[in-house]
Homo-oligomer: A and B are copies of this chain.
Amino acid sequence: MMDFATRVHNHNYRLDPIIRSLLDTDFYKFLMHQFIWMLYPKVPVTFGLINRTKTVRLAEIIPEAVLRAQLDHARTLSFRENELIWLAGNRFYGRRDIFRPEYIEYLRSFRLPDYKLETIDGQYVLTFEGDWAEVTMWEIYALAIVSELRSRIAMATLDKFELDILYAQTKTKIWNKIKKLKSYPDMRLAEFGTRRRHGFLWQEWVTDAMANELGRSFVGTSNALLAFKHSFEAIGTNSHELPMVFACLAENDDQLKTAQYDVLAKWQEVYDGELLIILPDTFGMTQFLRDAPAWASKWTGMRMDSKEPVAAGEEMIAWYAMRGEDPRKKRAMFSDGLEVDLMIDLHQRFRGRIRESFGWGTMATNDFRGAHPRGLDSLDPISLVCKVTYANGRSAVKLSDNPAKTTGSSPAEIERYLRIFGREGVAEQPVIV
């Protein structure tokens, strides 16, 4: 039967919003946001969206008005009552009451702040400037909007049949990956693909497929809206943003060196248990571990995001052993552009030696490579990031363990960071996403 109302409604709509809920972001943003809001809400911070895939000239693909309409729509959103109740009442990592009532109250009136959008040399320069507690929340929404708009535009010229084939081929691809993963029932992995997703509905389909098929191997999703909607575990703790801003708060070189530990000391005042995950690679993992205070090895584990993962895992195991901790009780979360074969290799290598697990991102939620029905690459994922660029009046720096992932607008500051943190254990690797 003809559903007249739906058909007419489809003619009427003015905007198909990408972000429809402020929960549609990575869960770690809420943990960091509460932390920032409690301790450093007014630090002046700038976030900037960076497309590391320079060959894709985003400003020539996505019309500015279309991008603005999506960003403006996100700014109209506020948290819904049921979303706030979920944040306040849900158990995260096995614990209730992670979010303080005062923070939930603050979220009730939260709106995304303004943005600045310019175009330079075919690329958008999208920046968010203001109080840290306000601008920090833009990160994932901005990434998802740009990523999804690019998909939509690439698909706008496909006819109904080509679209059918596109999704059939992509479902077949992801199904083959999931089938492979099913052979390793001891693996533990989470969906981490919000920021560079093909689209929300596709991310939801993939996450649902993982949950359905992988049983206990699927431990949850980084996406708070999917966790809320489907009662999945929300996964993720913190990101490079924290040590990067802390580094900008340092008043001298000595403080800069210890900023990476000071932020963890503060974190542990606010959170405990499973939330105590170290992200050691902001300024280089080797120097971080070598000079880390004794309490750092008591934490739950680490997330490995830029060092070649076998080397990172071995380094982690050796470090815990040297510090007198049993590595087999420590969490190792790998999350750097992972694909299935690599996850399986890492699982086989580290199984029983550490509590290895995986954050599977872009290759879960946006692997359309080879699926375009006319053979184009316009749906292949690109390397989009949204990073702190300035904080406290200083140019922010992330060195990472892979120079290809270094960020920072000031060569002098990068030079200074390199002088202070050194380059030990750093090695270039190709960045796909």
Contact = CB atoms under 8 A, between A and B. Distances in A.
Interface of A: 1, 3, 5-6, 9, 159, 161, 164-165, 167-169, 171-172, 175, 208-209, 212-213, 373
How many copies of this chain does one complex carry? 2
Contact of A175 (B1, B159, B165, B209): B165
A247 to B, nearest CB: 46
A131 B379 CA distance: 60
B161 A208 contact: yes
Contacts of A171: 164-165, 168-169
Given A168-B175, A208-B161, A5 B1 contact: yes
Contacts of A212: 159, 161
B172 A168 contact: yes
A211 to B, nearest CB: 10
A358 B9 CA distance: 45
A169 B165 contact: no
The 10 A-B pairs with the shortest beta carbon distances in the complex, nearest first, are A168-B171, A3-B3, A172-B172, A168-B168, A1-B6, A1-B5, A169-B172, A165-B175, A168-B172, A161-B212
A9 to B, nearest CB: 7
Contacts of A5: 1
A161 B209 contact: yes
Given A1-B3, A168-B168, A172-B172, 19 more contacts: A1-B5, A1-B6, A1-B9, A3-B6, A159-B212, A161-B208, A161-B209, A161-B212, A161-B213, A164-B171, A165-B172, A165-B175, A165-B209, A167-B168, A168-B169, A168-B171, A168-B172, A169-B171, A169-B175
